[in-house]
Structure 1
Amino acid sequence: MSSVSMHATLLGATLLGDGRHALPDRIKHVLQHLHLARQTARNCDCDIWDFAVDVPSLREFGVSFTDCRWMICVGYVKQAIETTLVGDPCRSFRAATNLYLTPQTCLVLTDEGSSYLESVLTATESENATSRIQLDEKPIWDRQRNELWYGETLVKKYKLPASNQATVLQAFEEDGWPARIDDPLPPKPNQDSKRRLHDTINSLNRNQRQRSLKFTGDGTGHGVCWEPLS
């Protein structure tokens, strides 16, 4: 693990599917605020330091001094100490020589920080889009063919009668595949309904051509739940 990844993890970042880190919201908000300042400076044809943001203002986003020092050390922001006096025609700064942060310390977003922010936001949106697609996708029970599909995957194909499983799958299909349905199996004399439902759920999970769906009880013995397997 690189030093950047290690410290990002310590600061609370989560790993995305492509190996990049989704920044904690507090840091992401600061970088986005600095990005806005950077873009505003460019739109106004001003020096980026004219729109530098002081650390106390950034701390209102919930970042700690450690967060600020991390952003400096990895090169996502650059720091300087403001020396502007009342009446000066423009803002002025002197170079910071260490990581001691004062109320006059100001930060600007670097090119590297801008690129990193854009890549993380893009990756995060991609992950969210994938999650939305997965949540929106529902199984399909084809009663005529006795086939259970999930997306383009054939999960189960029944060559022999399995009336209890078919009844559960048909109930899900008719209800639009909610997360849970009541036990649809009709009661029978001298049969334990809870045991029968339990056995049916186990059978639904067995012999899937490709493990794509998981069926479970709802904990009461009177309902069936389903969820996709990642």
Structure 2
Amino acid sequence: MAVRQRRDEVAVSSIQNLQQVLSLLCRANGYARELHVDRWQFAVDYDELLDAGASRTDLRWLVASRMVDHALETTAPGSDKRSFSPLVSTQLPLETSFVLSDIGLARCGLLAEESIAPASHPDRHLTDPADAAATIQQSTSEKPVNGSPTPRVVPEWDPHRRELRYQDKLVKRFRVPAAIQELVLNVFQEEGWPDFIDDPLPPVRHLDAKRRLQATVKSLNRSQLVPLLRFHGNGCGRIVCWEPLTDVM
């Protein structure tokens, strides 16, 4: 828990220091949404982010923390559509372009709007990165009226008993092996139950990863002894989220 808290503190500090850079990426994402085009068509160039105040180290942190996706622009002269080639995380050539990832959108408060809000002027959907930082900090603790932080209530997965509990109530017990569901729960438990995790399932040839993740989420919600938790995706098929259905009395 201490490691996760320290990691969140680093993320908050880094986001606060990159307000102008994240605002530029948020604005680019907003333009893409307004025109109903893929976000990569408004990918931000390397030099634009440097001009906005980012250093190479900042960009490496954004990539390593999966706040942004990056790729090499390969658009042919005269083409009416931008094209890109994937890069490994350690590659940052000068022709690199960047977009906010699903994780970056979530941390900047844009992920929910990305899937449900109608397109309008992008400035209406911009979130001040300072507010995003506060959102991350709030997600790690809840403050009562007196202002002193209290631990965030999260589920508990026991891989040995193969039991999932929430506020001491047994939510789900696996009596037969369910390797894929258990893998998701293992990752949530190891990460300290963040609001969402990346799809942890290893790729399988000829198997649609998005549909497999959707089926896994449905299975996690099915057959709960006490229906207290809801697992869901974000519409892109790349992350798993969780939330309590109701406060336990």
Which protein, 1 or 2, shows the higher relative CO under an 8 Å CA cutoff with sep ≥ 6?
2
Normalised to the residue count of structure 2, the TM-score between the two structures is: 0.41
Bigger Rg, which one = 1
Normalised to the residue count of structure 1, the TM-score between the two structures is: 0.44
